């Protein structure tokens, strides 16, 4: 185990394999267990959540093998002072606005390339419509798996590890943010081409904010939670 941890710290091929395996294993799990007929939407959502949990576990395992903790990705579990907490909430609102602007920019780009595109396919969330119990359950699950999990994986893990791989220089960080945004966009392939482009630009904004905020990941988690809350409430109210 010690030797493997040393490889992950020093060997470029080992670093690259770690990056590939995080997403490959999740993709294989989704491929074999997803209901492609999309008839069981709740099951498919559970499969996606489990895939995200597997990625988080893999990220955690990589940290342990290196002898690192979550703080290396910008995730601190130290309670902030009231003043720090207030500042973090304010910054999270700024990040939220920037990420939403990125999402809107993605819509504009697609409109200029293909004309007014079809809306993203959000049918996988139809189970939420007019169901208060599933709304609460979904919000709790999404906060843990999407708001928290996606920021850890796509910002904390990806940007940190790609920067280590290509070099912690200005251009290395640019490459890391771009690649993380591209992967984040394609991770939302279920939303169609428009959704991929929208989430790419949103991921780009979040990645830039991650570096701007010196890897204070909880601020991004909060901003992501605001976006997820708006999305889920919209889908819930669509059935009312």
Pick from 18-27, 34-43, 85-94 the range whose average pLDDT is largest: 85-94
The pLDDT, as a whole number, for residue 2 is 61
The 10s digit of each residue's pLDDT in 89-107 is 999 999 999 999 999 999 8
How many alpha carbons lie under 13 Å from residue 143 in its C-beta half-sphere?
Answer: 10
Give the closest residue to 107 by CA, choosing from 195, 230, 222: 195
CA distance 119 to 185: 16
Tell me the three-class secondary structure of 187-208, residue by residue: CCHHHHHHHHHHHHHHHHHHHH
Threshold 0.75, pTM exceeds: yes
The pLDDT, as a whole number, for residue 215 is 95
CA distance 234 to 220: 21
The pLDDT, as a whole number, for residue 189 is 85
Question: Which residues have a Cβ under 8 Å from the Cβ of 69 and sit 6 or more positions away?
Answer: 63
Mean pLDDT of 138-146: 87
């Amino acid at each position: 185990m010690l030797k493997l941890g040393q490889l992950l710290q020093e060997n470029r091929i080992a670093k690259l394999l770690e990056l590939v395996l995080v997403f490959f294993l999740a993709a294989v799990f989704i491929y074999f267990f997803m209901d492609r007929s999309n008839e069981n939407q709740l099951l498919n959502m559970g499969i996606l959540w489990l895939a995200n949990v597997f990625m988080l576990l893999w990220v955690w395992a990589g940290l342990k093998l290196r002898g690192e903790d979550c703080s290396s990705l910008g995730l601190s579990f130290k309670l902030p002072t009231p003043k720090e907490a207030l500042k973090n909430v304010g910054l999270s609102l700024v990040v939220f606005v920037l990420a939403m602007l990125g999402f809107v920019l993605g819509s504009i780009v697609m409109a200029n390339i293909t004309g007014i595109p079809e809306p993203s396919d959000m049918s996988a969330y139809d189970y939420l419509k007019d169901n208060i119990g599933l709304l609460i359950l979904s919000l709790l699950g999404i906060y843990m798996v999407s708001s928290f999990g996606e920021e850890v994986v796509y910002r904390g893990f990806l940007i940190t590890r790609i920067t280590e791989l290509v070099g912690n220089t200005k251009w290395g960080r640019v490459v890391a943010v771009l690649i993380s945004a591209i992967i984040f966009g394609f991770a939302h392939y279920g939303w169609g081409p428009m959704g991929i482009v929208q989430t790419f630009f949103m991921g780009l904004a979040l990645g830039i904010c991650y570096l701007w905020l010196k890897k204070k990941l909880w601020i991004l988690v909060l901003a992501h939670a605001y976006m997820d809350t708006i999305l889920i409430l919209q889908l819930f109210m669509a059935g009312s």
